[in-house]
Amino acid sequence: MLKIKKWLVALGNGAIEFLRYIGSLTVFLSEIAFWLFHPPLRVKQVIRQAEKIGVSSLPIVTLISLFTGMVLALQSAYQMQKIQAEMYIASLVALSMIRELGPVLTALIVAGRCGAAITAEIGAMKVTEQIDALETLATNPINYLVVPKFWALLFSLTVLTVYSAFVGILGGYIVGVYKLHIPHHMYMKMTFEPLTQSDMRNGLYKSVVFAIVICVISSFEGMRTQGGAEGVGKATTSSVVRSFVLIIACDCLLTAFMYFFGR
Protein backbone atom coordinates (compact mmCIF):
# COMPACT_ATOMS: atom_id res chain seq x y z
CA MET A 1 0.00 0.00 0.00
CA LEU A 2 2.87 2.34 0.86
CA LYS A 3 4.52 1.67 -2.52
CA ILE A 4 1.28 2.49 -4.34
CA LYS A 5 0.99 5.73 -2.37
CA LYS A 6 4.56 6.71 -3.25
CA TRP A 7 3.94 5.86 -6.89
CA LEU A 8 0.78 7.99 -6.98
CA VAL A 9 2.57 10.91 -5.29
CA ALA A 10 5.42 10.69 -7.81
CA LEU A 11 2.92 10.53 -10.67
CA GLY A 12 1.04 13.56 -9.36
CA ASN A 13 4.25 15.55 -8.88
CA GLY A 14 5.33 14.66 -12.41
CA ALA A 15 1.98 15.76 -13.83
CA ILE A 16 2.14 19.07 -11.93
CA GLU A 17 5.69 19.69 -13.12
CA PHE A 18 4.68 18.91 -16.72
CA LEU A 19 1.72 21.31 -16.58
CA ARG A 20 3.91 23.98 -15.00
CA TYR A 21 6.45 23.57 -17.82
CA ILE A 22 3.73 23.77 -20.51
CA GLY A 23 2.29 26.89 -18.88
CA SER A 24 5.67 28.61 -18.71
CA LEU A 25 6.38 27.63 -22.31
CA THR A 26 3.03 29.07 -23.43
CA VAL A 27 3.70 32.36 -21.65
CA PHE A 28 7.16 32.50 -23.23
CA LEU A 29 5.67 31.86 -26.70
CA SER A 30 3.12 34.64 -26.18
CA GLU A 31 5.92 37.05 -25.25
CA ILE A 32 7.80 36.14 -28.44
CA ALA A 33 4.62 36.69 -30.47
CA PHE A 34 4.17 40.12 -28.84
CA TRP A 35 7.70 41.27 -29.74
CA LEU A 36 7.85 39.78 -33.25
CA PHE A 37 6.42 42.85 -35.01
CA HIS A 38 7.62 45.38 -32.46
CA PRO A 39 9.92 47.95 -34.11
CA PRO A 40 12.74 48.22 -34.74
CA LEU A 41 13.50 44.96 -36.55
CA ARG A 42 17.27 44.48 -36.37
CA VAL A 43 17.84 43.28 -39.92
CA LYS A 44 21.62 42.98 -39.53
CA GLN A 45 21.24 40.65 -36.56
CA VAL A 46 18.67 38.56 -38.46
CA ILE A 47 21.06 38.24 -41.43
CA ARG A 48 23.95 37.36 -39.12
CA GLN A 49 21.88 34.67 -37.38
CA ALA A 50 20.60 33.35 -40.74
CA GLU A 51 24.20 32.95 -41.87
CA LYS A 52 25.12 31.05 -38.70
CA ILE A 53 22.04 28.83 -38.89
CA GLY A 54 21.46 28.37 -42.62
CA VAL A 55 24.74 28.74 -44.48
CA SER A 56 26.76 26.86 -41.86
CA SER A 57 24.29 23.96 -41.93
CA LEU A 58 24.46 23.49 -45.72
CA PRO A 59 27.30 20.92 -45.77
CA ILE A 60 25.75 18.50 -43.28
CA VAL A 61 22.25 18.93 -44.77
CA THR A 62 23.70 18.18 -48.22
CA LEU A 63 25.50 15.07 -47.02
CA ILE A 64 22.59 13.59 -45.09
CA SER A 65 19.94 14.43 -47.69
CA LEU A 66 21.99 13.01 -50.57
CA PHE A 67 22.66 9.74 -48.78
CA THR A 68 19.04 9.54 -47.60
CA GLY A 69 17.77 9.83 -51.18
CA MET A 70 20.26 7.21 -52.37
CA VAL A 71 19.42 4.76 -49.58
CA LEU A 72 15.70 5.29 -50.09
CA ALA A 73 16.05 4.47 -53.80
CA LEU A 74 18.15 1.38 -53.10
CA GLN A 75 15.86 0.05 -50.39
CA SER A 76 12.72 0.58 -52.45
CA ALA A 77 14.38 -1.00 -55.50
CA TYR A 78 14.78 -4.25 -53.56
CA GLN A 79 11.00 -4.66 -53.40
CA MET A 80 10.03 -2.85 -56.60
CA GLN A 81 12.17 -5.11 -58.76
CA LYS A 82 10.19 -8.12 -57.57
CA ILE A 83 7.02 -6.70 -59.14
CA GLN A 84 8.80 -4.99 -62.06
CA ALA A 85 7.80 -1.51 -60.89
CA GLU A 86 11.20 0.20 -60.82
CA MET A 87 9.80 3.31 -62.51
CA TYR A 88 7.83 4.16 -59.33
CA ILE A 89 11.05 4.51 -57.33
CA ALA A 90 11.33 8.09 -58.58
CA SER A 91 7.85 8.98 -57.32
CA LEU A 92 8.48 7.32 -53.97
CA VAL A 93 11.75 9.21 -53.41
CA ALA A 94 10.29 12.56 -54.47
CA LEU A 95 7.14 12.30 -52.35
CA SER A 96 9.05 10.99 -49.33
CA MET A 97 11.64 13.75 -49.44
CA ILE A 98 9.18 16.60 -50.05
CA ARG A 99 6.40 15.57 -47.67
CA GLU A 100 8.28 13.87 -44.84
CA LEU A 101 12.02 13.22 -44.81
CA GLY A 102 13.14 16.62 -46.06
CA PRO A 103 11.37 18.68 -43.38
CA VAL A 104 11.98 16.23 -40.52
CA LEU A 105 15.65 15.46 -41.20
CA THR A 106 16.47 19.13 -41.74
CA ALA A 107 14.68 20.12 -38.52
CA LEU A 108 16.51 17.46 -36.51
CA ILE A 109 19.86 18.58 -37.94
CA VAL A 110 19.18 22.24 -37.15
CA ALA A 111 17.85 21.39 -33.67
CA GLY A 112 20.94 19.36 -32.83
CA ARG A 113 23.42 21.79 -34.35
CA CYS A 114 21.92 25.28 -33.97
CA GLY A 115 19.30 24.77 -31.25
CA ALA A 116 21.98 23.54 -28.87
CA ALA A 117 24.16 26.54 -29.73
CA ILE A 118 21.27 28.95 -29.06
CA THR A 119 20.61 27.36 -25.65
CA ALA A 120 24.30 27.42 -24.73
CA GLU A 121 24.65 31.08 -25.78
CA ILE A 122 21.58 32.32 -23.91
CA GLY A 123 22.29 30.02 -20.95
CA ALA A 124 25.83 31.36 -20.60
CA MET A 125 24.45 34.91 -20.64
CA LYS A 126 21.89 33.92 -18.01
CA VAL A 127 24.36 32.41 -15.52
CA THR A 128 26.80 35.30 -15.97
CA GLU A 129 23.96 37.80 -15.32
CA GLN A 130 24.24 39.46 -18.73
CA ILE A 131 20.48 39.07 -19.22
CA ASP A 132 19.90 40.85 -15.91
CA ALA A 133 22.16 43.63 -17.19
CA LEU A 134 20.02 43.95 -20.33
CA GLU A 135 16.90 44.34 -18.18
CA THR A 136 18.69 46.94 -16.07
CA LEU A 137 19.36 48.90 -19.26
CA ALA A 138 15.62 48.75 -20.12
CA THR A 139 16.24 46.28 -22.96
CA ASN A 140 13.85 43.36 -23.22
CA PRO A 141 15.97 40.18 -23.57
CA ILE A 142 13.35 38.40 -25.65
CA ASN A 143 13.18 41.25 -28.14
CA TYR A 144 16.96 41.63 -28.22
CA LEU A 145 18.06 37.97 -28.20
CA VAL A 146 15.19 35.72 -29.26
CA VAL A 147 13.30 37.62 -31.98
CA PRO A 148 16.26 37.87 -34.43
CA LYS A 149 16.89 34.14 -33.97
CA PHE A 150 13.22 33.41 -34.55
CA TRP A 151 13.11 35.22 -37.92
CA ALA A 152 16.44 33.70 -38.94
CA LEU A 153 15.29 30.17 -38.06
CA LEU A 154 11.99 30.64 -39.86
CA PHE A 155 13.69 31.75 -43.07
CA SER A 156 16.70 29.43 -42.91
CA LEU A 157 14.80 26.24 -42.09
CA THR A 158 12.30 26.84 -44.90
CA VAL A 159 15.08 27.33 -47.45
CA LEU A 160 17.05 24.36 -46.09
CA THR A 161 13.96 22.15 -46.31
CA VAL A 162 13.50 22.95 -50.01
CA TYR A 163 17.21 22.41 -50.59
CA SER A 164 17.16 19.11 -48.68
CA ALA A 165 14.28 17.77 -50.78
CA PHE A 166 16.09 18.73 -54.00
CA VAL A 167 19.34 17.06 -52.90
CA GLY A 168 17.48 13.93 -51.77
CA ILE A 169 15.76 13.70 -55.17
CA LEU A 170 19.19 14.11 -56.79
CA GLY A 171 20.50 11.19 -54.70
CA GLY A 172 17.60 9.03 -55.84
CA TYR A 173 18.27 10.09 -59.44
CA ILE A 174 21.92 9.01 -59.23
CA VAL A 175 20.94 5.55 -58.00
CA GLY A 176 17.93 5.20 -60.30
CA VAL A 177 19.63 6.24 -63.53
CA TYR A 178 23.21 5.05 -63.07
CA LYS A 179 22.68 1.98 -60.88
CA LEU A 180 19.20 0.71 -61.73
CA HIS A 181 19.42 1.88 -65.38
CA ILE A 182 16.07 3.67 -65.43
CA PRO A 183 15.93 5.97 -68.51
CA HIS A 184 16.60 9.61 -67.71
CA HIS A 185 13.38 10.95 -69.25
CA MET A 186 11.28 8.28 -67.51
CA TYR A 187 12.86 9.02 -64.11
CA MET A 188 12.28 12.77 -64.46
CA LYS A 189 8.69 12.23 -65.60
CA MET A 190 7.90 9.91 -62.69
CA THR A 191 9.56 12.33 -60.27
CA PHE A 192 7.52 15.43 -61.07
CA GLU A 193 4.29 14.01 -62.47
CA PRO A 194 2.85 12.77 -59.12
CA LEU A 195 3.79 15.95 -57.24
CA THR A 196 1.06 18.45 -56.46
CA GLN A 197 1.00 21.90 -54.89
CA SER A 198 -0.48 20.29 -51.77
CA ASP A 199 2.61 18.09 -51.36
CA MET A 200 4.94 21.07 -51.52
CA ARG A 201 2.75 23.18 -49.23
CA ASN A 202 2.62 20.43 -46.63
CA GLY A 203 6.41 20.21 -46.51
CA LEU A 204 6.74 23.97 -46.11
CA TYR A 205 4.05 24.10 -43.40
CA LYS A 206 5.99 21.49 -41.44
CA SER A 207 9.23 23.45 -41.75
CA VAL A 208 7.53 26.57 -40.32
CA VAL A 209 6.15 24.65 -37.33
CA PHE A 210 9.50 22.96 -36.72
CA ALA A 211 11.31 26.31 -36.82
CA ILE A 212 8.94 27.67 -34.16
CA VAL A 213 9.49 24.57 -32.00
CA ILE A 214 13.29 24.79 -32.23
CA CYS A 215 13.42 28.52 -31.47
CA VAL A 216 10.96 28.44 -28.58
CA ILE A 217 12.41 25.36 -26.87
CA SER A 218 16.07 26.31 -27.26
CA SER A 219 15.51 29.91 -26.15
CA PHE A 220 13.25 28.92 -23.24
CA GLU A 221 15.74 26.37 -21.93
CA GLY A 222 18.50 28.96 -22.18
CA MET A 223 16.47 31.57 -20.31
CA ARG A 224 15.77 29.23 -17.38
CA THR A 225 19.37 28.02 -17.02
CA GLN A 226 20.74 27.86 -13.49
CA GLY A 227 23.85 26.50 -11.78
CA GLY A 228 26.83 27.80 -13.72
CA ALA A 229 28.65 25.80 -16.39
CA GLU A 230 27.04 22.54 -15.28
CA GLY A 231 23.60 24.12 -15.63
CA VAL A 232 24.43 25.28 -19.16
CA GLY A 233 25.33 21.70 -20.11
CA LYS A 234 22.11 20.33 -18.63
CA ALA A 235 20.02 23.00 -20.34
CA THR A 236 21.65 22.26 -23.71
CA THR A 237 21.00 18.53 -23.37
CA SER A 238 17.40 19.14 -22.30
CA SER A 239 16.89 21.54 -25.22
CA VAL A 240 18.05 19.04 -27.84
CA VAL A 241 16.07 16.12 -26.40
CA ARG A 242 12.84 18.09 -26.01
CA SER A 243 13.20 19.64 -29.45
CA PHE A 244 13.64 16.19 -31.00
CA VAL A 245 10.60 14.80 -29.18
CA LEU A 246 8.39 17.78 -30.09
CA ILE A 247 9.51 17.73 -33.73
CA ILE A 248 8.53 14.06 -34.08
CA ALA A 249 5.26 14.62 -32.19
CA CYS A 250 4.33 17.68 -34.28
CA ASP A 251 5.23 15.78 -37.45
CA CYS A 252 2.85 12.98 -36.46
CA LEU A 253 0.03 15.40 -35.68
CA LEU A 254 0.56 17.48 -38.82
CA THR A 255 0.74 14.39 -41.03
CA ALA A 256 -2.54 13.09 -39.57
CA PHE A 257 -4.20 16.50 -39.94
CA MET A 258 -3.03 16.89 -43.55
CA TYR A 259 -4.14 13.37 -44.39
CA PHE A 260 -7.71 13.96 -43.20
CA PHE A 261 -8.17 17.67 -43.92
CA GLY A 262 -5.39 18.81 -46.25
CA ARG A 263 -6.40 17.06 -49.44
What's the pLDDT score for residue 164? 93
pLDDT at 263 over 60: no
Q: What is the pTM of this model?
A: 0.90
Dist CA 223 CA 92 (whole Å):
42
Residue 93: pLDDT above 70? yes
Q: What is the pLDDT of residue 63?
A: 94
Backbone angles phi, psi at 2, to 5 degrees: -65, -40
- pLDDT-above-90 percentage for the chain: 32
Mean pLDDT along residues 237-242: 91
Q: How much is the pLDDT for 68?
A: 93
Residue 228 near residue 127, CB atoms below 8 Å: yes
3-class SS of residue 140: coil
User: 77, 180 in Cβ contact below 8 A?
Assistant: yes
Q: What is the mean pLDDT of the chain?
A: 87
CA distance 141 to 134: 6
> In the prediction, which pLDDT does 119 show?
92
227-233 average pLDDT score = 83
